[in-house]
C-alpha cells in the first residue's frame, strides 16, 4: 500500500500542477476575452476528446435521466460554476481564487446535512466554522474592497459543492454518461446563445490556447482518477492544496502578483480545516457518504467527463 500511496500522491501532484497551468492560460486569455467566450471555445474544442472517452461507456440504457430535476439542478450548478470560476481566475490573483475555492470540502459537508441526511459532530462543526473564518480573513470585508470576482469565486465554490452532493445523492441510479453529457451540452448551448453579445475576434494562437485548456483539463482529470484508484483518498486529497504553491509561483513569475500575509493566513486556516475533516473521516469513517474526503478541490466546469465508468462515480464530483 505504501508504494501505491506514493505513486498516487505523485500522480495527484502532477495533475494539480497541470490544473494550475490550465488556470494560468485561463487568466491570460481573460485579459482579452470574456469568461463566456473562453469557456464556449474550450468546450467546443474539448468535444472530440470527450466523445472518445464517453464512447467507452458500456452501460446499456438511454440518455433519459431517472432524476430529471436533480440532473437539471446539477447541470445548472456546473454551468454557473464554470462561468464564475473562469471569471474569478481572470480578474482575481490566483492565490485568492484558490483560497476561496478551497472552501469546497467545508461547503460539501454542510450541504450533505439537508440533502443526504448526514450529521456532523462537534469536531467537524468546529473545523467548518474555522474554515469559514479563514474565508473572512482572506476577504477582509470592510478592510479591503470586495469585487465581483470575489463574489464569483464564492458562488463557484457553492455551486460546485452543491453539484458534488447531488452526484452522491443520485449517482448510483443515473448512468455516468447522463451525468457527464448534460453539463457539456448545456455549456455549449447556453454559452453559445450568449456568445454573440461578448464575442471578440481571436487570432489563431489564442484559439490554440483555448485548445490547451481542453487538453490540460483532460490530462489532469485522467491523472486525478488514476491517483484516486491507486492510493487512499486521505493520501491523495491533501495533494490538491499544492495548487496554492503553484499560485504563488505562477502569480509572481507570470502576472507579477504577490499574495499578502492575510491571504496566506486565511488560506492556511481553510486548508487546515479541510485537512482535519479529511483525516477525521478517514480515521473514524464518520460518514456513510464521506463527502469531504472524496471532494475534489477542482470545481467541475463541464469541459471534460469526470467519470469513465459507472463504478467510478465516486471519482467524479
Q: Is the pLDDT of residue 192 over 90?
A: yes
Size (the chain), residues: 317
| DSSP output for 263-302 | HHHHHHHHHHHHHHHHHHHHHH---SS-TTTT--SSPP-S
For residues 310 and 222, the model is more confident at: 222
Least reliable range by pLDDT among 17-31, 48-62, 177-191 = 48-62
Confidence band of 60 (pLDDT split at 50, 70, 90) = low
**Residue 62: what pLDDT?**
66
Q: Is the predicted pLDDT of residue 314 greater than 50, yes or no? A: no
pLDDT category of residue 105 using cuts at 50, 70 and 90: confident
Q: Is the pLDDT of residue 155 over 60?
A: yes
3-state DSSP percent of the chain in helix, strand and coil, to 5 = 75, 0, 25
Q: Could you tell me which residues come within 8 angstroms of residue 177 by beta carbon, excluding any fewer than 6 positions away?
A: 54, 57, 59, 63
Confidence of residue 148 (pLDDT cuts 50, 70, 90): very high
Residue 193 has pLDDT above 90, yes or no: yes
Whole-number Å distance between alpha carbons of 252 and 301: 26
HSE value, Cβ hemisphere, 13 Å, CA-based, for 14: 14
pLDDT digits (tens, 9 = 90+) for 11-28: 999 999 999 999 999 999
Among residues of the chain, what percentage have pLDDT more than 70?
85
Among 15-24, 88-97, 307-316, name the one with the lowest average pLDDT.
307-316
Q: Which of 42-46, 120-124, 143-147, 260-264 has the lowest mean pLDDT?
A: 143-147
Among 177-191, 197-211, 228-242, 260-274, which is the least confidently predicted range? 228-242
| Main-chain phi, psi angles of 283, to 5 degrees | -75, -40
Percentage of the chain beyond pLDDT 90 is: 43
Please, which pLDDT band fits residue 305 given cuts at 50, 70 and 90? Answer: low
pTM over 0.85: yes
**Lowest-confidence pick of 15-29, 144-158, 266-280:** 266-280
Mean predicted confidence (pLDDT) in 241-262: 91
Q: Find how far residue 302's CA is from the centre of its chain.
A: 10
The rounded Cα 46 to chain-centroid distance in angstroms is: 17
With 60 as the cut, is the pLDDT of residue 109 above it? yes
**Residue 310 scores a pLDDT above 60:** no
Res 57: pLDDT:
63
Q: What are the structural domain ranges in the chain?
A: 1-57+64-297
- C-alpha grid cell for residue 22? 490550465
Alpha carbon distance 43, 47 (integer Å): 6
Q: What is the mean pLDDT of residues 272-284?
A: 75
Which residue's C-alpha cell is 468535444?
Answer: 47
pLDDT value at 1 more than 70: no
Dihedral sign for Cα 234, 237, 242, 247, please.
negative
Q: What is the pLDDT of residue 228?
A: 80
- pLDDT above 90 (res 116): no
Model confidence at 233, pLDDT cuts 50, 70, 90, reads confident
pLDDT band at 167; cut points 50, 70, 90: confident
Helical packing angle, 94-101 and 148-170, nearest 10°? 30
Task: Please compute the mean of the pLDDT values over residues 303-314 and round it to a whole number.
Answer: 47
Phi-psi sector, 256: left (phi>0), alpha (psi -120 to 50), beta: left
Amino acid at each position: 500500500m505504501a508504494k501505491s500511496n506514493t505513486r498516487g500522491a505523485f500522480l495527484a501532484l502532477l495533475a494539480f500542477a497541470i490544473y494550475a497551468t490550465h488556470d494560468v492560460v485561463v487568466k491570460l486569455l481573460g485579459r482579452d476575452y470574456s469568461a463566456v467566450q473562453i469557456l464556449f471555445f474550450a468546450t467546443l474544442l474539448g468535444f472530440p476528446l470527450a466523445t472518445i472517452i464517453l464512447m467507452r461507456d458500456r452501460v446499456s440504457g438511454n440518455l433519459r435521466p431517472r432524476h430529471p430535476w436533480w440532473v437539471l439542478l446539477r447541470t445548472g450548478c456546473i454551468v454557473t460554476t464554470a462561468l464564475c470560476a473562469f471569471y474569478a481566475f481572470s480578474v482575481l490573483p490566483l492565490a485568492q481564487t484558490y483560497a476561496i475555492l478551497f472552501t469546497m470540502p467545508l461547503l460539501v459537508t454542510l450541504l450533505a446535512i439537508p440533502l443526504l441526511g448526514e450529521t456532523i459532530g462537534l469536531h467537524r462543526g468546529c473545523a467548518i466554522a474555522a474554515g469559514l473564518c479563514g474565508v473572512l480573513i482572506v476577504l477582509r470585508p470592510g478592510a479591503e474592497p470586495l469585487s465581483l470576482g470575489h463574489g464569483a469565486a464564492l458562488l463557484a465554490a457553492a455551486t460546485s459543492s452543491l453539484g458534488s452532493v447531488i452526484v452522491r445523492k443520485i449517482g448510483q441510479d443515473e448512468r455516468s454518461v447522463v451525468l457527464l453529457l448534460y453539463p457539456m451540452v448545456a455549456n455549449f448551448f447556453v454559452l453559445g446563445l450568449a456568445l454573440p453579445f461578448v464575442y471578440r475576434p481571436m487570432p489563431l494562437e489564442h484559439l490554440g490556447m483555448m485548445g490547451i485548456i481542453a487538453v490540460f483539463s483532460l490530462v489532469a482529470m485522467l491523472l486525478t482518477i488514476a491517483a484516486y484508484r491507486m492510493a487512499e483518498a486521505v493520501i491523495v486529497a491533501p495533494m490538491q492544496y499544492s495548487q496554492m504553491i503553484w499560485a504563488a509561483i505562477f502569480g509572481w513569475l507570470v502576472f507579477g502578483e504577490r499574495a499578502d500575509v492575510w491571504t496566506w493566513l486565511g488560506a492556511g486556516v481553510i486548508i487546515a480545516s479541510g485537512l482535519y475533516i479529511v483525516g477525521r473521516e478517514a480515521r473514524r469513517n464518520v460518514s456513510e457518504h464521506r463527502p469531504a474526503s472524496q471532494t475534489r478541490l477542482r470545481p467541475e466546469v463541464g469541459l471534460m467527463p469526470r467519470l469513465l465508468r459507472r463504478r467510478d462515480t465516486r471519482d467524479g464530483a
